[in-house]
């Protein structure tokens, strides 16, 4: 593709620069090949301008950089300047790869993104569409599964994946959009049909300047990325949801609220059953009674968000509700993985105070005996939530066991000590396998164990190494059966 086709039409290029053939894009100098455009992006750990010489040595012919970046290159290397080079790169990637599934939706929020994306993909598939989901669990598509490095991939990676999905016949896709991904413009250039906001609570304040900035980055989906007239599905029940709905309305979007206070989809009642819930849901003048084979009020909220997105993309409520009884929860999302000594064992990805509280409250009705939790907090991340998670665990469980999560480059014992300040009655067992074993040993008939924090993950980050570790594998080994 010629450089003139890749950048904004108003950009100033010489005739020679305009005719340059661009063979690829990258913000990683190590991935540059002859004919590439290299994006010299400023990051939190390193400034991409430092790697311009390496990119040129590998064959870069164009450098994309911030307006004020100091770049010294030979005359035969073109430089494209931008006030927002991250967004410029994303838009270039969209042009370079071209295709994407015809119907794209985005899901943002602190919790629930993975479940909503999975439920929506399942609904679309049941309705006869070739559908995919992209996010924390990777790329799930009819042609197979692919792991991802980030919940919302780098824009070059993302647009290549979307092109490949479209080429494979996928016409519907759901994308998890993290606050990091939105702040770093990773999904700019995607042509969205609709978006959803699940909820927001404290998370990632090691990256964002404040909770207000965290909210503002989530809001970019509705104020900047969705085109006028697109569907904006908002899960009701919080002041932040009301504010997001207001912003979406001001941006000219078609707001669909869902939940107990929802107008598009209103939850009229929910009745707990042995392995799920019976729901009564109103969609306008229609009322539906459906059985959901999943536990927890928050999963009801996630299903309603997925249903709202399906409606925003043209599906009829009756057809959507017929799909609900066959929905399956994604791996590691309040997943019932075993029965042990008359008790039930669940694994969940919950790693924020709100998510821990939500998961424990969801399981409380199913515990006729004790409710036990095994959890920890990650290192090199928001330290302020550690005491909050400890306090929530102590208040909402009968027995808490504090262990290691992903300590990364912090002292694991120091992380546990911070948590224990807020839950002094908890047991402290650093080794995660030993902690899970202790949780299982504490169980009796009618008890429930929640193993929280890592969910689907298959590694534990200690220092700079990723050690093979899976909560699922540990439970399977300890209870003596495969999960």
Beta-carbon contacts of residue 272 (< 8 Å; ≥ 6 apart): 295, 365, 366
203 lies in the same domain as 291: yes
61 lies in the same domain as 39: yes
71 lies in the same domain as 123: no
Nearest one of 459, 462, 269 to 472, comparing CA atoms: 459
pLDDT at 208: 47
Question: What predicted TM-score, i.e. pTM, was given to this entire model?
Answer: 0.84
61 lies in the same domain as 156: no
304 lies in the same domain as 345: no
110 lies in the same domain as 205: yes
Domain closes at, from 47, 66, 95 = 95
Question: What's the domain range around 12?
Answer: 3-95
Supply the CATH number for residue 238's domain: 3.40.1190.10
Domain closes at, from 32, 61, 95 = 95
148 lies in the same domain as 198: yes
Please count the structural domains in the chain. Answer: 3
- How do the pLDDT tens digits run along the chain, 483 residues long? 999 898 875 456 766 688 899 999 999 999 999 999 999 998 766 788 899 999 999 999 999 999 988 888 888 899 999 999 999 999 999 999 999 999 999 999 988 899 999 999 999 999 999 999 999 899 999 999 888 887 778 999 999 999 999 999 999 999 999 888 898 999 999 999 999 999 987 555 555 468 788 898 899 999 999 999 999 999 998 889 999 999 999 999 999 999 999 999 999 999 988 778 999 999 999 999 999 999 888 899 999 999 999 999 999 999 999 999 999 998 898 999 999 999 999 999 999 898 899 899 999 999 999 999 999 999 998 899 999 999 999 999 999 999 999 999 999 999 999 999 999 999 999 999 999 999 999 999 999 999 999 999 999 999 989 999 999 999 999 998 645
160 lies in the same domain as 232: yes
Question: Would you put residue 9 in left (φ > 0), alpha (ψ -120 to 50) or beta?
Answer: alpha
C-beta of residue 189 within 8 angstroms of C-beta of residue 93 = yes
pLDDT at 209: 64
Digit-coded pLDDT (tens) for 139-187: 999 999 888 887 778 999 999 999 999 999 999 999 999 888 898 999 9
- 343-348 and 335-340 strand pairing: antiparallel
Supply the CATH number for residue 458's domain: 3.90.190.20
240 lies in the same domain as 162: yes
341 lies in the same domain as 200: no
148 lies in the same domain as 70: no
Supply the CATH number for residue 91's domain: 3.40.1390.10
pLDDT at 19: 83
3-state secondary structure the chain: CEHHHHCCCCCCCCHHHHCCECCEEECCHHHCCCCEEEEECECCCCEHHHHHHHHHHCCCCEEEEECCCCCCCCCCCEEEEECCHHHHHHHHHHHHHCCCCCEEEEEECCCCHHHHHHHHHHHHHHCCCCEEEEECCEEEECCEEECCCCCCCCHHHHHHHHHHHHHCCCCEEEEECCHHHHHCCCCCCCCCCEEEECCCCCCCCCCCCCHHHHHHHHHHHHHHHCCCCCEEEEECCCHHHHHHHHHHHHCCCEEEEEECCCCCEEEEEEEEECCEEEEEEEECCEEEEEEECCCCHHHHHHHHHHHHHHHHCCCCHHHHHCCHHHCCCCCCCCEEEEEECCEEEEEECCCCHHHHHHHHHHHHHHCCCCEEEEECCCCCCCCCHHHHHHHHHHHHCCEEEECCCCCECCCHHHHHHHHHCCCCCCEECCCHHHHHHHHHHCCCCCCEEEEECCCCCCEEEECCEEEECCHHHHHHHHHCCCC
pLDDT at 35: 96
Question: Would you put residue 480 in left (φ > 0), alpha (ψ -120 to 50) or beta?
Answer: left
133 - beta bridge partners?
A: 140, 174
379 lies in the same domain as 437: yes
Domain closes at, from 95, 114, 148 = 95
């Amino acid at each position: 593709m010629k450089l003139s086709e890749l950048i904004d039409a108003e950009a100033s290029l010489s005739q020679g620069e305009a005719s340059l053939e661009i063979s690829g894009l990258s913000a990683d100098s190590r991935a540059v090949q002859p004919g590439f455009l290299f994006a010299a992006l400023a990051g939190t750990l390193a400034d991409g301008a430092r790697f311009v010489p390496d990119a040129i040595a590998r064959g870069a012919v164009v450098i994309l950089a911030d307006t004020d970046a100091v770049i010294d290159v030979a005359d035969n290397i073109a430089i494209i300047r931008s006030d927002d080079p991250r967004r410029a790169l994303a838009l270039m990637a969209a042009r370079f790869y071209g295709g994407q599934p015809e119907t794209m939706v985005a899901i943002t929020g602190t919790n629930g993104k993975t479940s909503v994306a999975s439920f929506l993909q399942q609904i679309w598939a049941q309705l006869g569409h070739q559908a995919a989901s992209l996010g924390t669990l990777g790329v799930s598509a009819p042609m197979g599964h692919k792991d991802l490095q980030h919940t919302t991939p780098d824009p070059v990676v993302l647009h290549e994946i979307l092109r490949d999905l479209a080429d494979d016949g996928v016409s519907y896709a759901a994308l998890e959009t993290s606050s990091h991904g939105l702040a770093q413009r990773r999904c700019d250039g995607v042509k969205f049909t609709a978006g959803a906001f699940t909820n927001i609570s404290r998370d990632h304040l090691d990256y964002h300047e404040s909770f207000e900035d965290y909210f503002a980055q989530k809001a970019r989906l509705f104020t900047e990325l969705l085109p006028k007239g697109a569907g904006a599905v908002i899960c009701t029940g919080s002041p932040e949801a009301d504010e997001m709905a207001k912003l979406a309305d001001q941006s000219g979007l078609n707001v669909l609220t869902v939940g107990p206070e929802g107008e598009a989809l209103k939850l009229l009642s929910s009745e707990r059953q042995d392995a799920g819930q019976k729901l009564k849901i109103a969609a306008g003048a229609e009322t539906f009674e459906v059985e959901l084979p999943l536990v927890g009020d928050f999963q009801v909220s996630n299903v309603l968000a997925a249903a709202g997105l399906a409606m925003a993309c043209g599906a009829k409520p009756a057809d959507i509700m017929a799909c609900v009884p066959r929905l399956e929860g994604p791996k590691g999302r309040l997943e019932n993985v075993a029965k042990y000594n008359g008790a039930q064992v669940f694994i969940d990805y919950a790693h924020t105070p709100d998510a821990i509280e939500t998961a424990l409250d969801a399981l409380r009705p199913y515990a006729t005996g004790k409710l036990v939790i095994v959890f920890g907090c990650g290192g090199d991340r928001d330290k302020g939530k550690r005491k909050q998670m400890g306090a929530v665990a102590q208040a909402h469980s009968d027995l808490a066991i504090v262990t290691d999560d992903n300590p990364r480059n912090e002292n694991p014992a120091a992380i546990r000590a911070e948590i224990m300040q807020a839950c002094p009655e908890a047991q402290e067992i650093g080794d995660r396998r030993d902690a899970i074993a202790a949780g299982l040993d504490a169980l009796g008939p009618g008890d429930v164990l929640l193993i929280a924090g890592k969910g689907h993950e298959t590694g534990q980050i200690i220092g700079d190494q990723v050690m093979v570790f899976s909560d699922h594998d540990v439970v399977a080994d300890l209870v003596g059966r495969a999960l």
